[in-house]
Structure 1
Amino acid sequence: MKNKKKLGVLMSLLLLLGIFTGCSSMTVASESEDKSFEFIISSNQPDSHPTVVALKQFAEDLEEKSQGTLKGKVYSSGVLGSDREVLELVQFGAVDMVSTGVSTIESYEKMYSLFSVPYLFNDKSHYYRMMDSEYMQEEIFPQTAELGFVVKTWFDAGARSFYTRDIPISEPSDLKGLKMRTLASPTLMEMVSLMGGNPTPLDWGEVYGALQQGVIDGLENNELALTVNKHAEVAKEFSNTRHLFAPDVLIMNTNTLNKLTSNQRDILDEALHELSLNQRELWAAETEKAIKEATEQGVNFTEPNVQAFIDSVKPMHEKVGKEYPEFVEVIKSFSEE
C-alpha cells in the first residue's frame, strides 16, 4: 500500500510537470509522416556518471538524426523516483525510458535473474560478446513486451566487487557476520549468503549514510561508486573479486515505441547503438580515473583468492545448469571468439 501511494504521488508530480505522457509533444500527423516525440528518460545516477553523460549525448544525437522529430529529456539523480518506481511509470507510459540495473526487472522476467549469478562470464570480452549477440537482442530483450516495456540496449556497469569500511576481504570466510548491502535481488542475496555474508537490501540513496554510520559493513559494486557516489570517503577496503558482470539496461515503454514510424525506429536503433558504444568508452575512462582518485583518498585495492569465491557459489551454477541448460550453452558458445 505504501508503494502504491508513493507511486500515485510520483504520477501526480509528473502530471504537474506536464510530462505524464512521454510523448507529450506529439503532433497530429498522417500515417506516413514522422510525428514529434519528446522522450522522458530517467536515471538514478548523477550528472557526472558515464551513463548519464552518454544519455544526454544520445538525446542530442537523436534530435539531430531525426531533424527534430525525436527529442529526449534526461532526468538524473533519481528525481523521478527509485528505479523500481520509475519502471512502473514506464509501464504506465508516464515515463518513456529508464536506465537501471538488470536486476530491477528480475521480478518481471525470471531470465534476467541469471545475470545476477556470480562468475557467469570468464572475463569482460566474454561478457561483451554475449551482450552484443543476436541471441540477447532477439530472444531476451523483447521478453517483457506484453508487460508494457522492452529492453532496447545495454550499458557497461563494470565488474562488481566487494568493498567495506575497514575490513579486507581475501576469502569468503572474511565476509562471515558482515552486513553487506545488496540490491533487492533474491539472486544477489543468495550469492552473499553462500559466500558467508549477511545480505542487507537497501535503496541506493541510503548506502552512503549506512556506511558512514556502520549500519552496513560494506557492499558489492564497481569502482565508480567510490568516486561518483563518494563511497571512498567512508569505505577504505576494496577487494577485486570481480564476481559479477551485470549490465545496466535501457528500458522503453512499448506503446511509445509502437507509435514511431519505421523511419523513426531506424533512427532510434542507430542512435541507441551509438549510445551503447559511447557509454562503454566513457565507462572505461572513468573507471581508470576512479581507481586513481580512490587510491589517493586512502582506498586499499587488493586481489583476493578468486577461486575460493567461485567454489562458494557452485550450488548456484548447478541450479542454473538444470533450470536453463540452453541459456548456459549459449553463454559457453561465446566464451571464445
Structure 2
Amino acid sequence: MSRKFRSILMVLVLALVFGACAKKNETKPAKTIIRVGHNQSQNHPTHLGLLAFEKYVEENLGDKYDVQVYPSELLGSQIDMVQLTQTGAINICVASNAILETFNDVREIFNLPYLFASSEAYHHVMDDPSIVKPIFESTRDGGFEGVCWLDAGSRSFYTKDKPINSVADLKGLKIRVQQSPTNVKMMNLLGSSASPMGFGEVYTALQSGIIDGAENNEMALTDNGHGEVCKYYSYDMHQMVPDIVIANYHWLESLPKEDRKVFDEGFKILNEVQRKEWQTAVSKAKDKAENELGVEFIYPDQKPFVDAVSPLTQEVLKRNEKLIPFYEAIQKYNKQFPAKEG
C-alpha cells in the first residue's frame, strides 16, 4: 500500500470515527474538538507535557474547546500524523525533526550529525527565536508550522549481540534510523546498513532479527522495551534531534485572537513541562536499563565517529546553501557552551 493511499485511507477512517462521535454527542453543547497525536506512551514526558497543555487550554477555554490527546501512534505513525495535520484531519501532532526535512529541506540543519557541542548549546539554539522561528514557519505552504520544540535528548547506538566500541563495529550491521535521507547517508558513512522505519515497528524488528540495532535516547530502552532485546548502549551521541510540535496552519490562523493567545501560552507550558520531566525520566531510564534489564553502557571515543561523518555536513551545506546562516549561528553557541570534559 502506497504512503499516499494509506494517508488518504487514514483520513477517511478518522472522518468516519470522529463523525460518529460528533453525531452521538450532538445534543450536548457544541465544543470544538482539538485532536493531538504523538507516538510515545502515556508515561513519556511528551505525553505529560501534552496533558499540561490540555489542562491549561480547557481551564481557560473549556466552554469552547475539548482537547483530546492520542498517544502511542493511535492516529498512525509520525509520517501519517504529519500528513493528517497537513490536511486538518487532526490539529496538532508531535514529530521528530528528522522526518520533517522531507517537507522542507531547511529542516535538514537539525538532522546533521554532531551539530551541537553540548546539551547547553543545543538548548540555547532551540530557545533562540531568530534561529528556530523561520525554520518552524518554513512549512506553512505545506499546511503546517512548528509551534514549539520538545527535548528528545541525544541519540546513540544500541545493539543486540555486539557492543559498539568503535566505528568498525558498525560495519555490516542493520541499524534502524528515522525516515530521513540525512540519517541514511550518515549510516552509510559509518559502514552500516540503514533500515528506515516507523518507531512503532522497531521492537518487533529487533526481536525478529530484521535489524541488529537502532539509535535513540535512553528512554527507548525502558519506555519502549528495547532494552529487553538490546543489551549494549554506546554513547557516541551522534545527534541531538528535537521533536517538533506542529499544528495545522489554517486552523491556527482561524483562531480568534484571544483564543490564540491561550493556545500559544499552552504551547509554552507544554515545552516547559516536557523538558523538566525529560531530565527526571532519562535518569530513571538509565538506572532501570542498567540495573533491571542488564543493559551495558559503553563510552567509545567520539572523535572517530565525528571524523567518519564530517563529509556529510560539508556535502549538505554545499548543496543547501540556505543552511549556512543557521549553521554559523549554531557554531557561536557551540563556542559559548563547549563540550565538557568526560
TM-score (norm 2): 0.91
Q: 1:307 aligns with which of 294, 303, 309?
A: 303
SS in structure 1 opposite 2:189?
helix
Partner of 2:324: 325
Q: 1:48 aligns with which of 43, 46, 50?
A: 43
Q: Give the C-alpha shift of residue 277 in structure 1.
A: 1.0
| Runs of 4 or more above 4 Å deviation | 19-22
What is the distance in 2 between the residues matched to 1:206 and 1:137? 30
Match runs of 1:108-147 below 5 Å: 108-147=103-142
Q: Give the C-alpha shift of residue 36 in structure 1.
A: 5.3
Over aligned residue pairs, what C-alpha RMSD do you find? 2.1
Match runs of 1:130-279 below 5 Å: 130-279=125-274
Q: Give the C-alpha shift of residue 215 in structure 1.
A: 1.4
Partner of 1:16: 16
Query: Which letter does structure 1 place at the counterpart of 2:118?
Result: D
Partner of 1:29: none
Q: 2:55 aligns with which of 57, 60, 76?
A: 60
Q: Give the C-alpha shift of residue 70 in structure 1.
A: 3.6
TM-score (norm 1): 0.92
Q: 2:98 aligns with which of 103, 108, 113?
A: 103
SS in structure 1 opposite 2:146?
strand
Aligned pair in 2 of structure 1 residues 321, 201: CA closer, same or farther (>3 Å)? closer
CA contact (8 A) 2:175 2:215 kept: yes
What is the distance in 2 between the residues matched to 1:8 and 1:261? 30
Q: Give the C-alpha shift of residue 293 in structure 1.
A: 0.5
Aligned pair in 2 of structure 1 residues 160, 56: CA closer, same or farther (>3 Å)? same
SS in structure 2 opposite 1:120?
coil
Deviates further, 190-199 or 232-241: 190-199
SS in structure 1 opposite 2:73?
coil
Please give the per-residue CA displacement for 1:293-337, whole angstroms capped at 9, x wherever unaligned: 000211000101101111111102222443332121111122216
CA contact (8 A) 1:21 1:95 kept: no
What is the distance in 1 between the residues matched to 2:313 and 2:13? 44
SS in structure 1 opposite 2:152?
coil
What is the distance in 2 between the residues matched to 1:15 and 1:92? 12
Partner of 2:276: 281
Deviates further, 197-206 or 244-253: 197-206
Query: Which letter does structure 2 place at the counterpart of 1:164?
Result: T
Partner of 2:3: 3
Q: How many residues of Structure 1 are paired with residues of Structure 2 in the alignment?
A: 327
SS in structure 2 opposite 1:118?
coil
Please give the per-residue CA displacement for 1:14-66, whole angstroms capped at 9, x wherever unaligned: 122226999xx9xxxxxxxxx95321000111111110121122101111133
Aligned pair in 2 of structure 1 residues 20, 252: CA closer, same or farther (>3 Å)? farther
What is the distance in 1 between the residues matched to 2:218 and 2:20? 35
SS in structure 1 opposite 2:238?
strand
What is the distance in 1 between the residues matched to 2:95 and 2:126? 16
CA contact (8 A) 1:60 1:71 kept: no
What is the distance in 2 between the residues matched to 1:267 and 1:20? 29
Deviates further, 307-316 or 2-11: 2-11
CA contact (8 A) 1:21 1:93 kept: no
Query: Which letter does structure 2 place at the counterpart of 1:12?
Result: L
Aligned pair in 2 of structure 1 residues 9, 320: CA closer, same or farther (>3 Å)? closer
Aligned pair in 2 of structure 1 residues 127, 82: CA closer, same or farther (>3 Å)? same
What is the distance in 2 between the residues matched to 1:98 and 1:106? 16
What is the distance in 1 between the residues matched to 2:48 and 2:329? 32
What is the distance in 1 between the residues matched to 2:95 and 2:259? 24
Unaligned runs of 5+ in 1: 26-34
CA contact (8 A) 1:239 1:301 kept: yes
Aligned identity (percent) is 36
Query: Which letter does structure 1 place at the counterpart of 2:214?
Result: L
Q: Give the C-alpha shift of residue 72 in structure 1.
A: 1.1
